[in-house]
Copies of this chain bind each other. A is one copy, B any other.
Amino acid sequence: MCELLGIASKIATDVDFSFTFKGFAMRGGQTGPHADGWGVSLYEGPFARTFLEPRPAYGSALARFLRDNPIHASVVVAHVRKMTVGQAAIENTHPFVRVFHHRHITFAHNGTLPNVHKIPLAYESTVGTTDSEHSFCVMLERLHKLYPHEYPKDPLELGRRLFEIGNELGEDGVFNFLFSDGEYLYARCGDNLSLITRQAPFGNATLVDTDVTVQLADMLDPEQRVVIVATEPLTRETEWQKATPGTLWVIGHGDLVETFRNN
């Protein structure tokens, strides 16, 4: 199993990521067992700058480089990996990235879909050997059929499609995922996903994985609003809400825009 981290903020910044990633990265080999790789996609407009390593995030020179040379982004998709399917190799490291109608789509998965590889692919192709990348390719081919000429303009319509595809593929196993186009973040709960919204007036935040506490008001623009999604709450703030299985959240510009739920 793995851990997911997604951030969608109103104002592009590196602050939320730098702080949150500190705790998150510790789960990659220090406080957690997720030592088989890590990756992060940081969106600059439609382009996802993606950094991946098939080694623990904790102690990584590349993770340190990202902390020392922060990149501004309003949407971030990150993942630390404990391998279940596919060996520890760069090509099996999340997020996966593909191009769809003039933007990078990024995808990170927590869970296992044991039979998804039986769904054939017509055009898309995996580089690695994970069920996760295969499921991403299946989703992209579905979206290409639904939207052959241009990207869906309505994020709620796309959210509903991803909710439906998520329900369908999720019948096969555990399917927590983050899917983003750089503007919106679509987060599905298979069995484990939590969310927090931060806006002024900001309080304190203490990382769960280390003793660091920050005054959020000192770090964040008063106009900032940010939504953080993670497998497990990363801070001791009490406002984290846990999704019920099957939920798909549509998040953008610092807001939880829509929640799709079964029944």
Measuring CB to CB, which residues of chain A are less than 8 angstroms from any residue of chain B? 44-47, 49, 52, 61-62, 65, 68-69, 89-91, 98-104, 123-128, 144
Contacts and interface: CB of A to CB of B under 8 A. Distances in A.
A99 B102 contact: no
Contacts of A127: 46-47, 99, 102-104
27 contacts: A44-B89, A44-B90, A44-B91, A45-B89, A45-B91, A46-B91, A46-B127, A47-B90, A47-B127, A47-B128, A49-B52, A49-B90, A61-B65, A61-B68, A62-B65, A62-B69, A65-B69, A98-B99, A99-B125, A99-B127, A100-B125, A101-B125, A102-B125, A102-B127, A103-B127, A123-B123, A123-B144
Indicate how many identical chains form the complex: 2
A127 B100 CA distance: 8
A89 B45 CA distance: 10
Contacts of A103: 127
